[in-house]
Each structure stands twice: as C-alpha cells, then as structure tokens.
Amino acid sequence: MDAERLAPTVGIVGALLLALTIAIPAVTVEAGDGQVAAYYAAGPVGISFVGMLALLETVVFLSGRQERTDPATAAGLAFVLSLSMLGVAALWSFSIDPTLLFSFDQQYSWLTYHRWSVVAAAFVTFVGGAWYARGVL
C-alpha cells in the first residue's frame, strides 16, 4: 500500500465531502428572516470559513500528491489545516443554539443531524491529513 498516494486521496475525498456538506443547507433550505445565515454564523466562529479551508485543503493535498510542492511541506500543512477544520467544526456543532436549530420548518428536520455530518467529514479529512503526514514525515 502506497501511503504517499492513498492518504492524500482520502484527504481529498474528505475535504471535498466537507465542502459539499457545508454547502448543502445554503442550497436546499428556503427559510426566511436570515435563519440560514444565523445557522452558518452560530457559535464563536461560524462554519463558512471551514468550507473555504476545505477547498484550500484539496489544493494542498493535490499539490503534495502530484509533487508540485515539497511533500513534507504539503503533509505538514495538510495536517495543520485538517486539525484546525476538525476543531472548528466540533466547536461549531456543540455551540449551536438549540432554539435556532429547531426553528426551521419540519421539512428541514434533517438539519439537526447536519452538524454531525460536518464533523464526520472533517474527521475523514483529518484522518487523511494525519495519515499523509505520518507517511511522508
């Protein structure tokens, strides 16, 4: 098993999954009064920034995997970014106000589980980043 090829692939899949998971409510939920914006901004930091970092993480994994940058530098950056995204996603998911979470219409009840899927996708990215860093460093 080639960890220097498979680990970044796991990280890429996790990062793209994370960015997609974060974007789903913005695309699918039709709520008024800024509910979706409040959902994304909940907690001390909000989650939108993690979606942007996930796309950046994809570029980092790809550049390290294709050796367009030093693999050790890419692995270290991928690890730090994935750890940061996991931390922010966990902080965000635990700090969402339940009143906000349950204020959406009944058809959007899946949002109560959305935050955990964001954390799960961030964890997959973290596993890819840690595995890549361990394999390269």
Angle at 39 between CA 113 and CA 82, to 5 degrees: 70
Q: Are 73 and 135 in contact (CB under 8 A)?
A: no
Mean pLDDT of the chain: 93
Indicate the pLDDT class of residue 137, thresholds 50, 70 and 90.
confident
pLDDT given at position 3: 66
Provide the percentage of residues in the chain whose pLDDT is more than 90: 86
pLDDT given at position 68: 94
With a cut of 80, say whether residue 1 has pLDDT above it: no
pLDDT by residue (tens digit) across 19-75?
999 999 999 998 777 899 999 999 899 999 999 999 999 999 999 999 999 999 999
90's tokens? 């966990």
- How many residues would you count in the chain? 137
pLDDT given at position 32: 75
Q: From CA 106, how far away is CA 83, in angstroms rounded?
A: 34
pLDDT given at position 5: 84
Please list, in sequence order, all residues whose beta carbon lies within 8 angstroms of the beta carbon of residue 58, skipping any fewer than 6 positions away: 12, 15, 16, 19
The Cβ of residue 1 has, within 10 Å, a number of other Cβ atoms equal to: 6
DSSP 97: -
pLDDT given at position 2: 73
